[in-house]
Amino acid sequence: MLELRHLRSLIAIAETGRINAAAEAVHLTPSALSHQLRALEDHYGMPLLLRDVRGLRFTPAGERLLALARQMREAQQAAEQDLQRIQGDTRGTLRVVLECHTCFEWLMPVLDAFRQRWPDVEVDLVSGFHRDPLTLLSKDKADVVIGALRPPGRQWASLPLFRFEILLALPPGHVLCAKRSVRAVDLQGETLITYPAPDERIDLIREVLQPAGISLPRRTAELTIAILQLVASRRGVAALPNWALKPSLDSGYVQARRIGPRGLWSELHATVPRDLAQRPYVRDLVEMARQSVATHLDGVQLL
């Protein structure tokens, strides 16, 4: 009764948290995925998932099958890598450019694990801030760009990673902490603390402030911790990804509010030359990144 397709479905549900998104990930309709789950539950005579106000939740039986699914996926990936080594397609170079300053926090553990899995692939981070990182691909100065931009043209492939919410970081006790969400007009009179990036690369400015015709004075800092220190000391406010804010929110160092009633969301993709996208180690790097963020970052949605 239990097949690999069932295990893939359980992993997709765990990683997306929603039936519709999981069904899309495994190329099924939502009704077909629900039927698959019911068949498993009928076979084992116990529920695998519960639905409550918090969303989908695995039962102990579901958790056990999910653990098996993840073990099987790891075994499958290891076998595929062995086959690729036998075939000889294991050597290469990946020069990685990060458009997102906060990506270092989740990418470093992924790259460490990748180097162990693919020891013959040389991985290098292209240092420094790049105003237009995608031009490095066309000039053959980079192989992978991780960022929100997806360039047009058939020569590039954009491999989806995940979607995340950008929150407004505020000092404890700030007047805006009394609001459930913050609008552009609420930010008038504030100083915006950002990374040293142009306006068009800052989501809050591009998506919220500019459409409202609002311009704020800016102060920049290179490091996330420096931005948070400035916010905590009431030098301004900042818009940062939810995962970058979580430790400071948990400690009460800063507070955060949603930007707009539905939130301000962004996406990350890995853009590579189309011929490179077919290399097994490139695909594996993307899948390792997706698995890692789904496991370790709160509040993200896999694309």
147 sits in which H/E element: strand 144-147
What are 168-205's pLDDT values in tens digits?
Answer: 999 999 999 999 999 999 999 999 999 888 888 889 99
Could you read off the pLDDT of 116-137 as tens digits, one per residue?
888 888 888 887 666 677 778 8
Give the tens place of pLDDT for each residue, 262-283: 999 998 898 988 888 888 888 8
Sign for the pseudo-dihedral over CA of 289, 291, 293, 299: positive
Two tokens, residue 86: 């036998």
Which 3-state string (H, E, C) describes 222-254?
CCHHHHHHHHHCCCCEEEEEHHHHHHHHHHCCC
Question: For 303, which DSSP code?
Answer: -
pLDDT value at residue 85: 62
pTM of the model: 0.68
Q: What is the DSSP string of 2-30?
A: --HHHHHHHHHHHHHSSHHHHHHHTT--H
Task: Collect all residues with Cβ–Cβ distance below 8 Å to 43 and sequence separation of at least 6.
Answer: 1, 2
Stretch 64-73: mean pLDDT: 90
